[in-house]
Amino acid sequence: MELSQKAIQLPSSPIRKLVPFADQAKREGVHVYHLNIGQPDIKTPECGLDALRNIDRKILEYSPSDGYIGFRKKLVGYYAGFGINLEPDQILVTTGGSEAVLLSFMACLNPGDEIIVTEPFYANYKSFATFSGAVIKTVRTSIEEGFRLPSVEAFEEQIGPRTKAILICNPNNPTGYLYTREEMMQLRDIVKSHNLYLIADEVYREFVYTDAPYVSALHLEGLEENVILVDSVSKRFSECGIRVGCICTRNRAMRDALMKF
């Protein structure tokens, strides 16, 4: 019996590879500080646990393909608190943030297309790109420069005829860097100049520890058709195991395409 080439080519999660070593160290009495898997060190809100314990359902039926309208309306209110104006039909509920990233890749990237991401980056982005048949091109950031966004020239060097998108994580995983308004405007100009998608993983928006403002990709004027925002309840509510995320986009054609997956 043979595995598919896709199964062979998909990279294993380097994050998960560390777990057995950590478990062995614990058995040997070593205190382990986990920097591998992104499990928050905050408690899951009691109201969330109560909702699970006291669910008033006789049947757990299929949900609508884009998610329950009540939940999407609540998300509209949540995003409004950050100055992000959306309608319920611009939000699609997903099985966690990972599925949101994967579906975004599959909806806008053909096999052989390229997506640019700043390095270092969340390791599973590479797996999602491989699964989609796409190629990741990297633009390096450095600790010496505080992991700030590279220059326009650094991005231009990586942009070619197969480039379809730029992927950012803001605030960034793993560096923790928060892009400034000027850096987000720089990204906007690059995206507009080359008519690219801007996929923005913003699951860490509430983990900001300075007075610097959080600037969402959905705040950027002129990119209504370009931005695909990826989100999840996992981090801010410490609900990683519940697997609830979403995709937000004002691009109607993209939204309709995502509904097919």
pLDDT, tens digit, for every residue of 213-253? 999 999 999 999 999 999 999 998 888 988 999 999 999 99
Question: Residue 179 domain-assigned?
Answer: yes
Question: Residue 192 domain-assigned?
Answer: yes
pLDDT in tens, 100-151: 999 999 999 999 999 999 999 998 999 999 999 999 999 999 999 999 999 9
Q: How many domains does the chain have?
A: 1
Rounded-to-integer distance, Cα 169 and Cα 167, Å = 7
Question: Residue 15 domain-assigned?
Answer: no
* pLDDT recorded at residue 189: 98
Percent of the chain with pLDDT over 70: 99
* pLDDT recorded at residue 104: 98
Asked if residue 237 lies in contact with residue 44, where contact means CB atoms within 8 angstroms, the answer is yes
Question: Residue 198 domain-assigned?
Answer: yes
pTM of the model: 0.92
Question: Residue 14 domain-assigned?
Answer: no
Question: Residue 20 domain-assigned?
Answer: no
Buried-exposed string 95-115: b where 16+ CB fall within 10 A, e elsewhere? ebbbbbbbbbbbbbbeeebbb
Question: Strands, E, within the chain: which ranges?
Answer: 91-94, 114-119, 135-140, 163-169, 197-201, 227-232, 245-248
pLDDT in tens, 192-218: 999 999 999 999 999 999 999 999 999
Domain around 106: 59-258
CATH of the domain at 151: 3.40.640.10
Q: What does the H/E/C string look like for 208-226?
A: CCCCCCCCCHHHCCCCCCC
* pLDDT recorded at residue 200: 98
